[in-house]
A and B are shown apart, each in its own frame.
Chain A
Amino acid sequence: MSLGFLTLIVFLPALAAVALTVLSGRISVQTAKVMGLGASLLALMLSATLPAGFLPGAGFQFVEEASWIPSLGISYKVGLDGISLLMVLLTTVLVPLALLTAWGGSTRNERGLTIAMLFLETAMLGVFVSLDLFLFYMFWEASLIPMFFIIGVWGGAGCTRAAMKFFLFTMAGSVLMLAAIISLALVNRQGTGVLTFDYTLLSATRGAFAVKWLFWAFFAAFAVKIPVLPFHTWLPDAHTEAPTAGSIILAGVLLKLGGYGMIRFCAGLFPTVALEYRLPLVLLGIAGIIYGAMMVLVQKDLKRLVAFSSVSHMGYVVAGLGSFTVAGMGGGVMQMVSHGLATGALFAAVGILYERVHTRELSGYGGISRVMPHFSWLFLVVVLASMGLPGTSGFISEFMVLLGLWKLQPLLAALAVPGVVLGAVYMLMMFRAVMQGPVPKGLERLAPLEGREVFVLAVLAGGVIIIGVWPGPWIDLIQGDILRIIGGVGGPG
């Protein structure tokens, strides 16, 4: 089949970004913002029609293929399975919301930010739908460039340093992956006689080339992105210094690139190696959960606090995916979605506070619930969702991960459980510090919530609750694909 619907969704934002760049002198900033938001909403609407034609568990669908570099066996090939579909939806939902958070007029060069966000959206969508390893790597690396600028140009005081750190860390992981991708294709050629970078062809002969270092080279790239302890040190800086819109996308989608890569490539291409090393992987994940949570407890900066909570939450993803059990991997994927929505909402809420109070210091806050009562209710929902309270998506995913760990080895689940408790502790501590207690001087009157701010928080909180009370269809969407990845290798249930 030639190019079509999926390609349109992926490249729509980039086309809009190019148009905005070309038209930059001729249209007002307001028009540019509306156009940018319109393009991202159009991408959302188009992607929202995808589930209608999607058959859960039936492998890759909406596959489109076009010749690209035929001499090297590289083609432009995209397609969706349930896991990619969820990630695509997460992306198309979060980008317009992130653009909305930057709407307030306090952002400088809003036109540039819109353009960067749209380019970033195309790169991220591209990663999730690529079925050719070369194409995947192109999108993967290309996502670095706009994010680097978003942090460095629109970020806070120490943003250039944070942008460089982000760039160098992720770059270090991914160049190694490039060598691994090429080696994988070459090893496969030795076995089959065909040079190809096609994911479906490579995964069809998987196991035949279970070269361990390839697995770890892929894992290195994803470990930096997720991030796995001890490669997480870029994350607090990047999250803290990025503008609100950037933080939402960074936490909401960019970290998921790592998790997605881990399940799609590490587990999908090297299932035997993944099975062999699941214990160390799970332990890495658990270490992230506990370490991240403990780091949160001592943070004094609101954004840094949320950033470290991301490290902890992404630890569940690593542990779940690493467990190589159906429940654990399903939980890992659900945790990616849940964390994307909940932490996106947390960053949006922190951004709302920052725009009014102009400090990220926790000590500068207090008693906001009396100044902004409506906001405090929304904030509470977001905090509870982050804690993984029953009825929110976080509960479903953390439960599934723990179930997976239990099936692997009950002791592992016991090791991870304190993370859940700590999660509740730090989230409630943050809520108390911000919302309760005496109101500091100067905060007696704050601007009330704007409609767009309520909308952003409501959509994200709504998503968290919908998945929380009605998880069935989402899990069904990915169950078949996870079985296919595990299948044939024989991990326990």
Chain B
Amino acid sequence: MMPGFMESLPAILPELVLALGAILLLALGVSRQMEARFCVRFVLIASVVALGAMAYSAGPIEGSFAGIMAFDGLASAGRLLVLASLIAALLLSHPWLESAGMQNAEYVSLLLLSGAGLMGVCASANWIALLVFLEISSISLAAIMGMRRGVPASREAAIKFFILSAFASAFIVFGAAVLFSRVRGFSMMAPEYPDSAVVTGTLFILAGLSFKCSLVPFHAWAPDTYEGGPTPVVAFIASASKVAGFTAMARFLLSGGAGSFIGGGAVLWVLAAMSMLGGTILALTQTNLKRLMAYSGISQSGYLLLAFLGAAESRTESVVTYLVVYTAMTLGMLAVISALEDEGKAPEVSSLPGLGARHPLLAAALGVFLFSLTGLPPTAGFFAKFQVFREALSTGYLYLVLVAVVSSVISAGIYIRLLVPAVMEGEGVGWREFSLAPGVAAITLLASIILVIGGLFPSLLVSLSRLFLAQ
């Protein structure tokens, strides 16, 4: 029997905690200017409470909210990663808020709201629910992006992000409507139905989700948004937003429903190949570290798509493994970048020389992240790549894997180009002395530990993914 509304409520407690926290903070912020430290602490507590709520409400609840939400293993994995990214983004925000002179309460409450939205996206099983949660997050994120009113790049980032998010939603709405005309429902797992309208709808929805996952050719917003946005928010978008996008995509394509015919189809092949090659080739000439991370993220999305093409019994597991590793690498990299940032000016490759001499531990962590992005053992990035290669090869996508091989080799050149100045060169003209903020230290330490332990004992990553999916 389906649980009623009240019985379903505990499952969505984490999102509720975040949303209520955001509203409370906003209300407090109306009357007086809040101190950055207070805001960050308040929100951190809210996130930890939400984490506790997730643990409390763990376990499958069949057909909650009349089936428009699915609190299954895939959802738990995605929501937990979103929450982890949120906490990381908040930790990174603290020093940044103190220097940037922004409206603290508004900033952090919007970040909380977008976290709630993205967590909701991970658990949505219905196009309408998905769209509502997606909009909650997109609108909040676009608002934060544009908060630094004096900075033109910030406005550019906000506008690009907002318009392309709106595009994405429009694509999904249209696709869902077309699907509805055939399957008479908004379920993301609607039964397969070989019909040209279903194909059209599925393709439109796939395009909409591809915006979120920054897959080529739907990636154009990413570089400008990454470059102009506040680094903590970029860290959040790069990790959480993509996790949510891929979780939704996995639910749609891998659950045996209407989208399944795409899983294993030429469309994913083309998207993956274009993203891998496009991302790495465009990253080659970048000198701005945040822009470079945008392109690197695009190619990482391409690798992740390989897992979607794998064998039905294991591909979801590989997707989750890759997302865990991807989140750790991305948050770690952006934490390093935020440490290098000079009063909101996005750091360039030229600000790297000297890092090894001045902050050897941070440089070591950077090394771990870069080797992991390259996919070199003994880091978890290698195992993640191994898994997606295995998935695609197990269903015979040899040529696509060869594309991935070529892209990996090119990307090695990109990452090594950052590591060489950071470790092997003394302070250059771009060097700016900084003291390591505790938030940055915590994130880089934790991320590198996860990546090294996960790389040495990959069965831990496998078990973790299974633990989630067994729910």
* A residues in contact (CB < 8 Å) with B: 68-72, 74, 134, 137-138, 141-142, 144-145, 148-149, 152-153, 159-160, 163-164, 167-168, 171-172, 175-176, 178-179, 182-183, 186
User: Chain A's nearest CB lies how many Å from the CB of B449?
Assistant: 14
- The answer to whether A168 and B416 touch (CB under 8 A), given A69-B459, A163-B424, A179-B389, is yes
Pairs A-B, 10 closest by C-beta atoms: A138-B377, A69-B459, A172-B409, A171-B412, A152-B424, A175-B405, A175-B408, A141-B377, A182-B390, A182-B393
- The answer to whether A71 and B423 touch (CB under 8 A), given A168-B416, A179-B402, is no
CB-CB under 8 A from B374, the residues of chain A are 171
- The answer to whether A142 and B378 touch (CB under 8 A), given A69-B462, A164-B417, A179-B401, is yes
State the main secondary structure of chain B at its contact with A. Answer: helix
C-alpha gap A137/B382 in the complex (Å): 10
Chain B residues 438-454 with CB under 8 Å of chain A are none
Chain B residues 366-414 with CB under 8 Å of chain A are 371, 374-378, 382, 385-386, 389-390, 393-394, 398, 401-402, 404-405, 408-409, 412-413
- The answer to whether A145 and B390 touch (CB under 8 A), given A152-B420, A164-B420, is no
User: Chain B's nearest CB lies how many Å from the CB of A239?
Assistant: 18
CB-CB under 8 A from B393, the residues of chain A are 179, 182-183, 186
CB-CB under 8 A from B425, the residues of chain A are 160
User: Chain B's nearest CB lies how many Å from the CB of A214?
Assistant: 11
CB-CB under 8 A from B377, the residues of chain A are 137-138, 141-142
CB-CB under 8 A from B386, the residues of chain A are 134, 178, 182
CB of B420 within 8 A of CB of A163, answer: yes
CB of A70 within 8 A of CB of B405, answer: no
C-alpha gap A137/B458 in the complex (Å): 14
CB of A167 within 8 A of CB of B389, answer: no
User: Chain B's nearest CB lies how many Å from the CB of A94?
Assistant: 23
User: Chain B's nearest CB lies how many Å from the CB of A172?
Assistant: 5
CB-CB under 8 A from B402, the residues of chain A are 179
Given A171-B412, A182-B390, 5 other A-B residues pairs in contact with their CB atoms under 8 A: A134-B386, A152-B424, A168-B416, A175-B405, A183-B393
**Residue of A with least CB distance to B374:** A171
C-alpha gap A160/B401 in the complex (Å): 30
Q: What are 14 inter-chain pairs, A to B, with CB distance below 8 A?
A: A68-B457, A70-B459, A71-B459, A71-B462, A141-B377, A142-B377, A152-B420, A152-B423, A160-B424, A164-B420, A175-B408, A178-B389, A178-B405, A179-B402
User: Chain A's nearest CB lies how many Å from the CB of B389?
Assistant: 5
C-alpha gap A323/B390 in the complex (Å): 33
- Report which of B390, B405, B457 forms a contact with A176, defined as CB distance below 8 A: B405
C-alpha gap A71/B461 in the complex (Å): 11
- The answer to whether A183 and B420 touch (CB under 8 A), given A141-B377, A178-B386, is no
C-alpha gap A149/B420 in the complex (Å): 9
CB-CB under 8 A from A138, the residues of chain B are 377-378, 382
**Residue of A with least CB distance to B405:** A175
**Residue of A with least CB distance to B459:** A69
C-alpha gap A176/B412 in the complex (Å): 13
CB-CB under 8 A from A152, the residues of chain B are 420, 423-424
CB-CB under 8 A from A137, the residues of chain B are 377
C-alpha gap A149/B390 in the complex (Å): 30
User: Chain A's nearest CB lies how many Å from the CB of B397?
Assistant: 11
**Residue of A with least CB distance to B314:** A71
**Residue of B with least CB distance to A172:** B409
CB-CB under 8 A from A172, the residues of chain B are 409, 412
CB of A72 within 8 A of CB of B390, answer: yes
C-alpha gap A453/B409 in the complex (Å): 40
CB-CB under 8 A from B394, the residues of chain A are 186
CB-CB under 8 A from B424, the residues of chain A are 152-153, 159-160, 163
CB-CB under 8 A from B371, the residues of chain A are 145
CB of B389 within 8 A of CB of A144, answer: no
C-alpha gap A168/B284 in the complex (Å): 14
- Report which of A74, A160, A179 forms a contact with B420, defined as CB distance below 8 A: A160
**Contact indicator per residue, chain B 171-204, by CB within 8 Å of chain A (1) or not (0):** 0000000000000000000000000000000000
